Chain A
Amino acid sequence: MLKRISLALLVAAIASTASAQEKKVTVADFAGTWNIEVMSHQVALVIEAAEGNKATGTLMLMGRDTLLKGELVDRTISFVGVKSEANGNMPADHQPPAEHPVAGSGMPPQPIVVTLQDDGTITGEMMTNNGPLKWTGEKLRAKKKG
C-alpha cells in the first residue's frame, strides 16, 4: 500500500515538474496591449519584451503616458516609471481631482507589479496615495475595424 502511494506521489511530482517546465513564463508572454481595470477605470498598459528578462512598457493612465522599465522574476514583472507626459486623452474638464488616488503627480505610483495568471489574464498592484491598489487586466483582442 505504502509503495503504491509513494509511486503515485512520484508520478504526480514528475508531472508537476514537467508542467511547470512547459509553462515557463517569459517576457514575450506579457508582450501586447492590456486593458486593465484600475478603480473602475479602463487603463491601457502596453508591454514590450526587451533583452533577456527585461521589459519596457507604457501605462496610459488619467491622461498621461508613463514609460516603464521592468524585470521578470518567475511570473511577475516589477516595473518602475522612468518618464511621464500628458497624452491629450483627457480634456481639462475631465481631469481627475488632485485627491484622486491615482491622479495628480504625473508619475505613476510605484512600483507597478504585473503577474501573469494561468488563464492568460494579468493581475497587478500599484502603490497609490491611498495605499496599495490591486487591479486585473485582459489582453486586448485584435478586432476588425469598420
Chain B
Amino acid sequence: MFLSRREMLKGLGASIALPYLEAIRSASTSPVRLICIEQVHGAAGSSAFGIQNNLWSPALTGRNFDLTPTSLKPLEPFRDHITIISNTDVPSADPTEAREIGGDHFRSSATYLTQTYPKRTEGADVECGVSLDQLHAQRFGQDTPIPSMQLCIENVDQSGGCGYGYSCVYTDTISWASPAKPLPMIRDPRVVFDQMFGVLGNGSADERRERRQEDLSILDFVRESSKRLLNRLGAADRVRLNDYLDNVREIERRIQAVEKRHDSGEPRELPMAPRGVPDSFADHVTLMFDLQLLAFRSDITRVFSFKLGRDASTRVYRESGSTGAFHIVSHHSENPDRIREFAKINTYHVRVFAELLRQLKETPDGDGTMLDNSLVIYGSPMGNPNQHNHRRVPFLVAGHAGGRIKGGTHIRAKDRTPLSNVMLTLLHALGHDDLHSFGDSEGPFQLE
C-alpha cells in the first residue's frame, strides 16, 4: 500500500501531517532541511585572548581538530557532521558613516542571514536583503504546507526606533522575505504548535482556543482518523506512526504543563512572556527544537530560522556556571578571567544546541539520518562583543545536506574573508547552483 505524502490525520479543528513511513518513503526521496540559528552577540573566542586560547575555534585545521579547549566541545559526538569555518568577517554590519558608529546592536541581527547593509531608518522604509533561509524557502519551500517558520527565544514586540536611528525590526528578526519585508518571529511554542497542526486543516481559531481551554489533546480530535490509518499500515509503520503520535502528544503535554503552571499565579521569572513560554532558557529552546524536529518528521516545513536571544539581553544563564547578566558578561573589557566567564555562556548555548543535533542524528530518514539530510547553520554576525566588532565571527554548519557537505573539518578562512562567501557556497549546496553572489560576497568559499 502507498500513501500520498499529503495524506493527513484529520478531525474537527485539527489536522496532523504524517511522519515518514515505509508506505510513503517508497514514493519519494528525502529532502534537505535547513535550520539557521543566530547565537547573538558574538563569542569569547573572537577576542584576541580567545583566539590565542582557542575558546571558539580549534587550533588545528583539517580533520584532526581538538574541541577540548573550545566552546564547541559539546559537539564532539557530532564531529563528523560539523564543519567549522573560522576567521570570517561580516563587513555589512560595520558602520559606514559617523551616525552609525555605536549602533551595532541595532543592525547586527539584520545582517546575519542577509549579509547586506541595512538602511538606517526608524520608519517603515526599512531595507536590507533577502535572507538565506528565505531564498531557500521561496524556491524549495513550496512543496510543504508551510514554506518556512521563524522562531525566537526573547521578546520581539518592540516598535519604532530602537537606537542610533534604526528601526526595531532590524533587531527583531533575522529573516527577510524581500529587502523591504522582514518576517516576524514566533516566541510562543503554543503558537508554533497551533500553526503546525491548525494551518493544515479545518480548525478555526475559536475551535483551537476551545480545545486548549478544555485541556484536550489534538490527538483526541484525530483519533478516528488515526485508527483507520493504523489498520491500513504494516507492522513497522504502525510502530512508527504510534511513536510519532506519542511524540506529538508529549510536546503538546509539555506546552500545556507550562501554560498550566503560568496560569496558577506562581511568580514567573519572565512575567511579561506569553503563557506558553517556559521561563527556563533550556526548556524553551529544547521545546522549540522538538517542534522543529516534529515539523521535519511530518514534512510540514523544511526551513526554520531561529534567534536565540538579543544582543542587549540581561538574562542570567545560571546553568552555564556564570552568574552575571549576559550583556554585562559579554563586555569583558578584554580581561582574561571575564572572557573565560563569557566562554562559559557560549559553551552552554552550544550544549543546548547539541541536543538538536543528537535528535536529528537519532532520527532515521531515508537511507541515513535526519542529520545527514539537514543543513544547520549556527553562528553570529558579531565577533568580539566587547568591541562590538564583526570580525572573526563564530560560525559552523552541521549536517551533510543530503551528501553535499562532507563535514568533519575545520577551515580557517584567509583574513578579511566575508562570511557571505561561505553562505553563497552553502546556498549552492542547498541546490541554488545558479546563484553567483549573495549579499556582499566576493565569490564562493571552498568547504573541503
A60 and B98: CB pair below 8 A? yes
In the complex the two chains form, is B387's CB within 8 Å of A37's CB?
yes
Check B161 for interface membership: any CB of A closer than 8 A: yes
Q: How far is the CA of A48 from the CA of B433 in the complex (A)?
A: 48
Task: Quote the shortest CB–CB distance from B433 to chain A (angstroms).
Answer: 25
Known: A44-B95, A89-B163, A91-B161. 8 other contacts (CB 8 A): A33-B98, A37-B387, A40-B331, A89-B99, A89-B165, A90-B164, A91-B163, A146-B116
Chain B residues with CB under 8 Å of A37's CB are 387
* Residues of chain A lying within 8 A (CB to CB) of residue B102: 41-44, 60, 89
| Distance A130 CA – B119 CA, assembled complex (angstroms) | 37
Instruction: Report the separation of the CA atoms of residues A42 and B102 in the bound assembly, to the nearest whole angstrom.
Output: 4
A residues contacting B by CB (< 8 A) are 33, 35, 37, 40-44, 46, 58, 60, 88-91, 94, 140-143, 145-146
Out of A35, A58, A88, A91, which one reaches B95, CB within 8 Å? Answer: A35
Question: Is the CB–CB distance between A89 and B386 below 8 Å?
Answer: no
Contact call A91/B101, Cβ cutoff below 8 A? no
B103 touches A89 (CB 8 A): yes
Given known A89-B164, A140-B95, contact A40–B333 (CB-CB < 8 A): yes
6 of the cross-chain contacts (CB-CB < 8 Å) are: A33-B97, A40-B387, A42-B95, A94-B163, A140-B97, A145-B119
Total interface residues on B, CB under 8 Å, equals 24
Write the residues of chain B forming the contact surface with A, with a CB cutoff of 8 angstroms: 91, 94-99, 101-104, 116-117, 119, 161-165, 331, 333, 386-388
Q: Min CB distance, B116 to chain A, in Å?
A: 7
User: Contact between A44 and B98 (Cβ–Cβ < 8 Å)?
Assistant: yes
Nearest first, the 5 closest Cβ-Cβ pairs linking A and B are A44-B101, A44-B98, A42-B102, A40-B331, A33-B98
Quick one: which of A35, A40, A142, A146 contacts B101, CB cutoff 8 A? A35
Which residues in A have their C-beta under 8 angstroms from that of B161?
Answer: 91
* Residue contact B162 to A91, C-beta cutoff 8 Å: yes
User: In the complex where A143-B94, A146-B117 touch, is A43 in contact with B101 (Cβ < 8 A)?
Assistant: yes
Cβ–Cβ < 8 Å partners of B119 in chain A: 145
Provide the residues of chain B in CB contact with A89, threshold 8 Å.
99, 102-103, 163-165
CB distance from B413 to the nearest CB of A (A): 19
A58 — which chain B residues lie within 8 A by C-beta?
Answer: 98
A128 and B81 CA atoms in complex are apart in Å by: 51
* Complex CA distance for A64 and B91, rounded to whole angstroms: 26
Query: How many whole Å from A72's CB to the nearest CB in chain B?
Result: 21
Are B99 and A60 within 8 A (Cβ)? yes
Tell me which residues across on chain B come within 8 A of A35, comparing CB atoms.
Answer: 95, 101
Q: How far is the CA of A90 from the CA of B102 in the complex (A)?
A: 10
The distance from the CB of A71 to the nearest CB of chain B, in whole angstroms, is 22
Cβ distance B120 to chain A, nearest Cβ, rounded Å: 10
Shortest distance from the beta carbon of A91 to any chain B beta carbon, whole Å:
5
Q: What CA separation (Å) do A85 and B31 show in the bound complex?
A: 57
Whose C-beta in chain B lies nearest to the C-beta of A87?
Answer: B99
Please name the residue on chain B nearest to A35 by beta carbon. B101
Q: Is A42 in contact with B388, judged by CB distance below 8 angstroms?
A: yes
* Docked complex Cα distance between A33 and B163 (Å): 20
**Complexed CA–CA distance, A47 and B388 (Å):** 22
Contacts of B386 in A (CB 8 A): 40
Chain B residues lying within 8 Å of A46, measured Cβ to Cβ, are 98
The distance from the CB of B66 to the nearest CB of chain A, in whole angstroms, is 31
B283 to chain A, nearest CB (A): 28
- Chain A residues near B97 (CB, 8 Å)? 33, 140
In this complex, what residue of A is CB-closest to B333?
Answer: A40
Chain A residues near B331: list those with CB within 8 A: 40
A63–chain B nearest beta-carbon distance, Å: 9
Once the chains are docked, how many angstroms separate the CA of A89 from the CA of B161? 9
Bound CA–CA A89/B165 (angstroms): 6
Contacts of B387 in A (CB 8 A): 37, 40, 42
Question: In the complex, how many angstroms separate the beta carbon of B392 from the nearest chain A beta carbon?
Answer: 16
Q: In this complex, what residue of A is CB-closest to B161?
A: A91
CA distance A53 to B98 in the complex (A): 23
- In the complex, what's the smallest C-beta–C-beta distance from A35 to chain B, in angstroms? 5
